[in-house]
Amino acid sequence: MEKKGVLTKVQAVVGTALVWVPILSTLALSVIGSISNRVLRFDYLLPAELFPFALVGSLLLLWAALRARSHQKLIASGLGTMLVFLIGGQAIAIFTDLASGAAEPTGWPWGLVVAFLALYSLALIATCIAGLMLVKNLFILGE
């Protein structure tokens, strides 16, 4: 039986807001920094640094999706993909001494870490979109 009550809707809205925090913060700070310094500023590490928001939001979304029986696979795969790429990128950085600063950020290890960060960010954006789809399903289509 589908549960589309108030708790499920609150979980979906709060979860969606939390998963958007890393993306919107990165964009907002980039625009503000670029305007104030008149040079393009973009902190590509910020979505990974704000991962706790994405994790809590994704877990709330997953819980709401399971209760509503809607978009469970999409949200679960987004969360799993985020974890794989974030942990994988961290592991590569640690094993190649990029994380400690002992190795220069050049060559294939650096490129691989940056690629994993980009893929993590894409998985995060996919989870954000899945959250919006869940909220739409609960509020617009669910009535």
Is the residue at 48 inside a domain?
A: yes
Q: CA-CA distance, 120 to 92, in Å (whole number)?
A: 14
Residue 45 phi/psi, 5° resolution? -85, -15
What is the tally of structural domains in the chain?
1
- For residues 25 and 45, the answer to whether their CB atoms sit within 8 Å is no
Q: CA-CA distance, 9 to 62, in Å (whole number)?
A: 12
Provide the whole-model pTM: 0.90
Is the residue at 99 inside a domain?
A: yes
| pLDDT tens track, the chain, 143 positions | 466 789 999 999 999 999 999 999 999 999 998 899 888 888 889 999 999 999 999 999 999 999 999 899 999 999 999 999 999 999 999 999 898 888 888 899 999 999 999 999 999 999 999 999 999 999 887 55
Q: Can you tell me which residue has the tokens 């993306």?
A: 23
Tell me which residue range forms the domain holding 94: 6-141
Is the residue at 1 inside a domain?
A: no
